[in-house]
Amino acid sequence: MNILAVIGSPKVDGNTYKTVCQIEKELYKKNEEIEFEYVQLSRTKLELCRGCYLCIEKGEDKCPLKDARESLERKMKQADAVIFASPVYTYNVSWIMKNFLDRFAYRCHRPEFHGKKAMVVITTGAVGLGFVANILSFMLGSMGFIICAKAGITFAPPHEKDEKKLQIETGKLIRKTEVFYKKIINPNPVKPSLVKLLTFRMQQKVFSKAPQNLADFNYWKEKGWLEKSENYYYKVQAGILNKLIVSIISGLIA
Ligand SMILES: Cc1cc2nc3c(=O)[nH]c(=O)nc-3n(C[C@H](O)[C@H](O)[C@H](O)COP(=O)(O)O)c2cc1C
């Protein structure tokens, strides 16, 4: 099993990296054969998104920026699971992580990572663990990642250091790592939530009406996802009630 850790902190040896190292240690305790690879976004040649929209409209191969995007995508596809880690910078993910998300924005339309298991890790000085973890999870979820666990640690400045809080959060980090591990070794396809099923149906509707030269249309067609009989990115039992709710809501919205 190989796990890729994408570190979105400008500090290569900062709190965020150290927190992921702790997760790595915990995972080794469970399985010594796990191979871990770190990608430090701050050391990766990933240029700033110019907002030209070419990746979304015409395809990612039309992106004018020639850098590590393609190799990063390959790494994420090849990994059995991915850890995404960012510090809280001004109540949000770091700019490095945000640029990473922007550079892969086309994956929200063409969710190639569907079913790929992931963990979100956030570090902060005081606030933001919850909502920054949620926004990052939401973004990654729309690219297809299944967020198996969200964890975070508060690294308060020395004069505000709260050992008890740090201990509690470290305990939580260990427990969340266990949850992550249990989920990544489970070979069964993850059952999608109602929101995920609905998102699939809505995108299916939008892309089936899209102009045929649009990258999204071709991608969805090639995958066979424009067929009405398809109800998710991969074969999974959706449940009768969920299917019914999706069909009612999507019918009302159409
Ligand atoms: C530019 C900058 C902005 C920050 N913004 C916040 C913030 O909004 N809220 C907060 O609680 N901590 C904030 N912090 C503290 C960091 O989230 C915290 O120290 C984090 O663990 C740093 O991780 P790193 O060492 O990997 O960079 C900020 C730190 C920096 C450098």
Q: Which of 37-41, 99-103, 119-123, 206-210 has the lowest mean pLDDT?
A: 206-210
Average pLDDT, the chain: 95
**Predicted pLDDT at 40:** 98
Q: Are 115 and 37 in contact (CB under 8 A)?
A: no
Q: Name the 3-class secondary structure at 38.
A: strand
Residue whose pair of structure tokens reads 């396809």 in the numeric block = 189
- Regarding the beta carbon of 223 and ligand 1, being less than 6 Å apart is answered no
DSSP H or E segment with residue 19: helix 15-30
Q: What six digits make up the tokens of 225?
A: 């996802």
Q: What six digits make up the tokens of 193?
A: 């939530």
Residue whose pair of structure tokens reads 């949850």 in the numeric block = 179
For residues 242 and 150, the model is more confident at 150
Q: Are 148 and 184 in contact (CB under 8 A)?
A: yes
Q: Are 99 and 21 in contact (CB under 8 A)?
A: no
CA distance 10 to 132: 17
Q: Model confidence over 59-92: pLDDT tens digits?
A: 999 999 999 999 999 999 999 999 999 999 999 9
**Predicted pLDDT at 247:** 87
Q: Model confidence over 126-164: pLDDT tens digits?
A: 999 999 999 999 999 999 999 999 999 999 888 888 889
**Predicted pLDDT at 184:** 96
CA distance 25 to 227: 45
How many other CB atoms sit within 10 Å of the CB of residue 170?
14
- Provide Rg for the chain, Cα atoms: 19
Mean pLDDT, range 202-218, rounded to an integer: 92
Q: Is residue 254 pLDDT above 70, yes or no?
A: no
DSSP string computed for 122-179: EEESSS-HHHHHHHHHHHHHHTT-EEEEEEEEE---GGG--HHHHHHHHHHHHHHHHH
Residue 172 Cα to ligand 1 middle (Å): 20
For ligand 1, pick from 90, 131, 165 the residue to mutate: most ligand atoms within 8 Å of CB: 90
- Regarding the beta carbon of 15 and ligand 1, being less than 6 Å apart is answered yes
Q: Integer distance in angstroms from the first to the last C-alpha of the chain?
A: 42
Residue whose pair of structure tokens reads 């240690």 in the numeric block = 25
- Regarding the beta carbon of 145 and ligand 1, being less than 6 Å apart is answered no
Report the percent of the chain where pLDDT is more than 90.
Answer: 83
Domains and CATH numbers, the chain: 2-185 (3.40.50.360), 194-253 (no CATH)
Residue 126 Cα to ligand 1 middle (Å): 8
pLDDT band of residue 35 (cuts 50, 70, 90) is very high
CA distance 192 to 210: 25
What are the E-state strand segments in the chain?
Answer: 2-7, 35-40, 81-87, 117-124, 146-154
CA distance 75 to 36: 12
Which residue's alpha carbon is nearest to atom 30 within ligand 1? Answer: 89
Q: Is residue 189 pLDDT above 90, yes or no?
A: no
